[in-house]
Amino acid sequence: MTNGKEILALFGFEAKEEPISIYPYSPVYRAKYREKDVIVKRTQTRAEHVMSYTNMLKDKGINVVTPVKLQVDNPQKYEDTNFVVYPFIDGNKYSGKEKEIYEAGKMLGQIHSVSPTSNIYDLIDYDVYDFNKQEVEESMEAIMQHAGKAGIEIDPALKIKLLESVAAQQELYEAGLPHVATPHDFKANNLVLIPEPYLIDPDNATWIPRVFDLALVLMLFHNEHEWAPDRVFTIDEWELFLSGYKEYSVLTDQEKLFWEKAKQHVFLDEVMWLMAEYEEDWQNPSQQKLFNSLIRVVIDSADYRLI
């Protein structure tokens, strides 16, 4: 079990009582440093690589948190986990307004546009192309059980799509799609609006096919956010996001060609386990609606194009 007091003490922060995480899914603590609020949170194993990458983004004028300068090293390791101290960014929450969607698209376009052409920051190199039929079968069984308890019927076409995705993995792997360095968790609950978007969680930074990163935005931008709509983007909202994105980044014909397969693969990788692992989410009306929306999109997503 994580000991918050010990983690805070690594950075010289004193807590009289065990701190309570402000995020339900992982340890995230709010603390004071020189009268300013800071956030102490988990980061990935390659912490120094992530920090080098995010410092580059900041140097390029992108609003992103970077480690607070302390009297001790930042990040620090606690047992087998790295923790980092970021400034607390105060601002408004995303609420699905058109301007917010457009500005978020611009920000991701800018992030992609400053990516190096090779993985010079030695970020995690995406290599998840080994799903098999059995994993789909087991996940679908769990999804059907969770949905059934919530009184929801799952369209059998979902399983067909996921099995198609398994069959297409090798083709995607061999396609040589353009890769980017990216925070790769670009969604509403990782942005604070001040009023422009400010990225507060870059810790999943990855070297990944650019269209996979875009597909993740399409699928999960509204996930786990109390003020966001309980659905994926509408087609108009997606086109608005892309209009902002394309002010900075130009997609290739090859990426457009593989877009359908990329969307299905990202569902297989990022969404299938989410639906299978968290039974409680199916009892949450908001998350239920988002899941239903996701299923509809993966079954028939032809209108969500890279125009």
Residue-range domain boundaries for the chain:
4-87, 98-299
- pLDDT of 101 above 70: yes
User: Residue 264 carries which side chain, given as an amino acid letter?
Assistant: Q
Q: Decide: 126 and 206 in contact? Cβ < 8 Å.
A: yes
As a whole number, the mean pLDDT across the chain is 95
Q: How far apart are CA 219 and CA 260, in angstroms?
A: 13
pLDDT in the model for residue 42: 94
Q: How far apart are CA 197 and CA 190, in angstroms?
A: 9
Residue found under tokens 């065990």:
18
pLDDT in the model for residue 26: 86
Which of the two residues, 32 and 120, has the higher pLDDT score? 120
Predicted confidence band of residue 307 (pLDDT cuts 50, 70, 90): confident
The H-or-E segment that residue 72 falls in is none
DSSP string across 180-193:
EEE-S--SGGGEEE
Which of the two residues, 139 and 24, has the higher pLDDT score? 139
Strand partners, 37: 32
Domains 4-87 and 98-299 share a fold: no
Q: Decide: 223 and 290 in contact? Cβ < 8 Å.
A: yes
Phi and psi at 198, nearest 5°, equal -125, 120
Predicted confidence band of residue 246 (pLDDT cuts 50, 70, 90): very high
pLDDT in the model for residue 1: 55
- pLDDT of 126 above 90: yes
Q: Decide: 238 and 218 in contact? Cβ < 8 Å.
A: yes
Q: Decide: 304 and 242 in contact? Cβ < 8 Å.
A: no
- pLDDT of 269 above 90: yes
Q: Decide: 68 and 18 in contact? Cβ < 8 Å.
A: no
- Stretch 250-256: mean pLDDT: 97
According to CATH, what is the number of the domain 4-87? Answer: 3.30.200.20
What are 293's two structure tokens?
């929306």
Predicted confidence band of residue 213 (pLDDT cuts 50, 70, 90): very high
Which of the two residues, 15 and 116, has the higher pLDDT score? 116
SS3 of residue 116 by DSSP = coil
What are 177's two structure tokens?
């799609």
CATH number (3.40.50.720, 3.90.1200.10, 2.30.110.10, 1.10.1380.10) of 98-299 reads 3.90.1200.10
- For 8, residues 6+ apart whose C-beta sits below 8 A from its C-beta are 14, 15, 19, 29, 31, 40
Q: Decide: 41 and 86 in contact? Cβ < 8 Å.
A: yes
